[in-house]
Amino acid sequence: MDFNLTEEQQMIQQAARDFAHAELLQGVIERDNEQKFPYDAVKKMGEMGFLGMMVDPKYGGAGLDSISYVLAMEEIAKIDASAAVVMSVNNSLVCAGIEKFASEEQKMKYLVPLASGEVIGAFALSEPEAGSDATSQSTTAEDKGDHYLLNGTKNWITNGGNATYYVVIAQTDPEKKHKGINAFIVERGWEGFQVGKKEDKLGIRGSDTHSLMFTDVKVPKENRIGEDGFGFAFAMAVLNGGRIGIASQALGIAAGAYELSLKYAKERRSFGTEIINHQAIAFKLADMHVNIMAARMLIYKAAAEKDEGKDISESGAMAKLYASQVAMDTTIEAVQIHGGYGYVKEYHVERMMRDAKITQIYEGTSEIQKIVISRAISKK
């Protein structure tokens, strides 16, 4: 097993790091306070190829491997987790699903502008009652012959207010249960499609999270992804890959908080010396470093298996479960290391602590990841 990054991967990592410091760092506290979407930065992310990193160049993507994607995600999330989740959703949930499962016509019409960063997309699975349970969809898509009538509500949709195209999961035949679910590409502006209120969130406040309402929205048959009843399998496959993106976001939050804490500990003096010389602080930093490295290896393994075409349900869930816990633990300790300064916005770590919590919730809670993992190991 080779743990060394290729020259190209190192270049991608450095480009993402430079971009994050040049385009995201300034104004990140203001965006968090005012819940401002990073419009200009997201546009530049698209121009740099960060919104369609793994998509084939013939569809407007950068054609890179999953490790490169993970590296870029970590660097972006170190500075601004809100921008990172925009990037994650567009790459892992929207572009990946359309490229793998959509028709050639759908790819040319929708994937090209999404992967090139001309527009961004959203993935609409969660509902008020079902959460991320794809088997319990209340949103319906009634087959009307040459089109479907889409009705229902989706909640907590990232990019909901700024997306142009939405991948929507809906129930067509309740009697068939999960085999009666379909996935559709829905365009913003279609009659009957309304974007609801923006959520006022604890963290990732720079990203836009909205509810979506569908009232007799006519969805052409050609906008269904895959065969009739393929929606559940589509959602499961997309979520597996999505967990790598969320794990990478969690890793970036943790690594960013650690780097700030290490810098602060080397500069802050107490009892006659820099606080890094006190074991109480040094041991915290050592634990943070070890846990971040362990999370990184789990994520790299899942990303490598994805590129090899292996089933990543277990490795992706493991990476997401562990990295999100590391993000939470690390940011809490980062605030503690900074002391009173850690509790004020100027030093960034309080925002990182708030941002970290969502990584334990979206793409399935920690409990859901444990269900996925336990089912996988029970078959061995």
In this prediction, residues 205-233 reach a mean pLDDT of 97
CATH number at residue 58: 1.10.540.10
Are 205 and 115 contained in the same domain?
no
Catalytic hit among 74, 333, 350, 363? 363
pLDDT at 137: 83
Q: Which residue has the tokens 């200009």?
A: 40
What CA–CA distance (Å, rounded) separates 15 from 76? Answer: 10
Asked whether residue 2 is domain-assigned, the answer is: no
Beta bridge partners of 207: none
> What is the extent of the structural domain holding 145?
122-228
pLDDT at residue 132 is higher than 70 = no
- Among 228, 249, 268, give the residue marking a domain's end: 228
- What is the tens place of the pLDDT at every residue in 226-265? 999 999 999 999 999 999 999 999 999 999 999 999 999 9
Asked whether residue 256 is domain-assigned, the answer is: yes
pLDDT at 134: 66
The size of the chain, in residues, is 380
pLDDT at 373: 95
Instruction: Give the DSSP per-residue string, 254-323.
Output: HHHHHHHHHHHHHH-EETTEEGGGSHHHHHHHHHHHHHHHHHHHHHHHHHHHHHTT---HHHHHHHHHHH
Are 126 and 191 contained in the same domain?
yes
pLDDT at 362: 87
Are 371 and 349 contained in the same domain?
yes
Are 186 and 116 contained in the same domain?
no
Tokens, residue 292: 């971040």
User: What pTM was estimated for this model as a whole?
Assistant: 0.96
- Among 177, 199, 228, give the residue marking a domain's end: 228
Tokens, residue 59: 């569809």
Are 91 and 221 contained in the same domain?
no
What CA–CA distance (Å, rounded) separates 230 from 86? Answer: 26
- What is the tens place of the pLDDT at every residue in 138-179? 999 999 999 999 999 999 999 999 999 999 999 999 999 999
- Among 228, 249, 284, give the residue marking a domain's end: 228
Are 374 and 250 contained in the same domain?
yes
Asked whether residue 259 is domain-assigned, the answer is: yes
CATH number at residue 191: 2.40.110.10
- What is the tens place of the pLDDT at every residue in 32-49? 999 999 999 999 999 999
Are 116 and 132 contained in the same domain?
no
In this prediction, residues 271-279 reach a mean pLDDT of 96
pLDDT at residue 135 is higher than 90 = no
| pLDDT class of 130 with cuts at 50, 70, 90 | low
Asked whether residue 341 is domain-assigned, the answer is: yes
**Structurally, how many domains does the chain consist of?**
3
Asked whether residue 1 is domain-assigned, the answer is: no
- What is the tens place of the pLDDT at every residue in 290-345? 999 999 999 999 999 999 999 999 999 999 999 999 999 999 999 999 999 999 99
- What is the tens place of the pLDDT at every residue in 360-380? 998 778 898 999 999 999 988
Q: Are strands 121-124 and 165-171 parallel, antiparallel or unpaired?
A: parallel
pLDDT at 281: 98
For residue 30, indicate whether it is catalytic: no
In this prediction, residues 276-288 reach a mean pLDDT of 98
